[in-house]
Chain A
């Protein structure tokens, strides 16, 4: 498909002739189960807290899906959590720390590998020592489970967890509206639609980030700083990227287990936000990139709009 030089118009919403630039990442997935969805979610929310950006959190993580009891390994309700990092070591550390502090500690939970694949990370293998010699190893048809006695019974944890090197992080959409309320409404609709896509997460609070950044800063040691071109309050003072009718900008960042998952999430988000129209939602949707020189994965909005 030829790349556009002028914006597309869909349902009155302007779609930039731009693309999101994304990077390769390492990722893993775990399934957390509990006696009910409330406690499975509680563990997942705690585990994925403070995991918005690898810049400051070491990893990016989020809830991918709620799982009904009939499809989880132990027949209890559960959630699937995805974790992304820039290296295998960073991913291993994030996984061990977060499962150890947020899932092992959470009442009633169990934790299992949530990804197919042969390359493995330590999951229960990294936590079994907590049981101080009382841990029990069970193997059945290729699966290896650790049973760790804890005060409410046992913490059941799969020994290892698969990792993928095909993950993609940094897919994004810039949502621009005529008012903060309309922009928020559009971004929320976009995130809600994206949450229905398997294998993709939006790691920022509620899936939305308001502090979109550029690389570097005038201050030494500051690796990222505010993206002034998209700050409405600086419109007249800098080389602004904003039109006169844009009063607020929010960004949705997407990480996926592969390129297709990120593309599917962006497609779903665009469709939902376009359907909302410019009066109730966004007047314009763009995407952030670095000129195509840094990230190997390019998601052109023209290829993704309905």
Chain B
């Protein structure tokens, strides 16, 4: 059975949706669901005041008419499916360890922050610090898969340690900053200083602004890894596969830090 939440109207304040994930809702009645507190303020805000609730809590959940005031949608998700029709606010899918979230709209900052597993698919654009580390966290994304069909803001993949991010559009400045592992692909153009202070991990960039000075040119080796990765990228669409199969120049760095990271940039 699918639980359906339909936003009655855009709220004048932000709502914290972190408690509205399938594994926390099991066994709740519609009345109990309606009493769930989704406030971000001092006064309680019951879920039922802002959403029409239908269906029974199970592994699947759909949120209709969502808007950018809904923060932490699908945060800490452990399993099941969440589909969102509309935009979401900050930290969608943050800390999720399993399951699938599909957002048919745009996502705010910190989408997929500290993800450990599962898949997050954002059909629109994503804000700054995609898959990054929120305040106080040491690591960003450590596992799972995240795809942004549109563009991403600044510092996508900041402090990422593992997993896969594919941005089909452009990325803002400093994509892959402080990267410690995992793979980040930007099928469009990445802003300046991609990979700044990168320790390990891999960036694939179709185009990029000026790279940080701590990267060294390693030529255009023909690596089997690109072919292997291209096979794994079939679910991410043609642009991702084409980038992995392109002639790529390898830059290693950031030598200002550990220097074991790499940027593959399309060679002219």
Contact = CB atoms under 8 A, between A and B. Distances in A.
A75 B227 contact: yes
Contact of B162 (A73, A139, A156): A139
B145 interface: yes
Contacts of A140: 164, 183, 229, 232
Contacts, number: 49
A74 B162 contact: no
A147 B231 contact: no
A101 B260 CA distance: 27
B49 interface: no
A75 B230 contact: yes
B145 A74 contact: no
Interface stretch (B19-27, B132-140, B217-225): B217-225
A110 B183 contact: no
B260 to A, nearest CB: 8
Interface string A74-87: 11100000000000
B258 to A, nearest CB: 12
Contacts of A73: 228, 231
Contacts of A33: 224
Nearest to B222: A153
Interface in B218-263: 221-225, 227-232, 260, 262
Main secondary structure of the interface of A (DSSP, over half): strand
Contacts of A153: 221-224
A138 B202 contact: yes
Contact of B183 (A75, A108, A138, A154): A138
Contact of A74 (B181, B231, B260, B262): B231
A244 interface: no
Given A140-B164, A140-B183, A141-B232, A74 B227 contact: yes
Contacts of B143: 139
A75 B231 contact: yes
Contacts of A108: 224
A136 B230 CA distance: 17
Given A139-B162, A140-B183, A74 B228 contact: yes
Contacts of B181: 137
Given A140-B183, A141-B145, A147 B225 contact: yes
Contacts of A139: 143, 162
A140 to B, nearest CB: 5
Nearest to A158: B228
A110 B202 contact: no
A74 B164 contact: no
Contacts of B200: 136
B122 to A, nearest CB: 19
Residue with the greatest number of chain A CB neighbours at <10 A, chosen from B223, B228, B230, B260: B228
B202 A156 contact: no
B184 to A, nearest CB: 12
Nearest to A154: B223
Nearest to B262: A136
A73 B228 CA distance: 6
A185 B10 CA distance: 82
Interface string A132-159: 0000111111010101000001101000
Given A138-B183, A139-B162, A141-B145, A154 B225 contact: yes
A116 B224 CA distance: 23
A154 B202 contact: no
A154 B224 contact: yes
Given A75-B230, A75-B231, A156 B164 contact: no
A73 B226 CA distance: 11
Interface of A: 33, 73-76, 108, 110, 136-141, 143, 145, 147, 153-154, 156
7 contacts: A73-B228, A76-B224, A141-B145, A153-B222, A153-B223, A154-B221, A154-B225
Interface of B: 143, 145, 162, 164, 181, 183, 200, 202, 221-225, 227-232, 260, 262
List the 10 closest pairs (A to B, CB-CB), nearest first: A74-B228, A74-B227, A156-B224, A110-B224, A154-B223, A140-B232, A153-B221, A75-B231, A153-B223, A75-B227
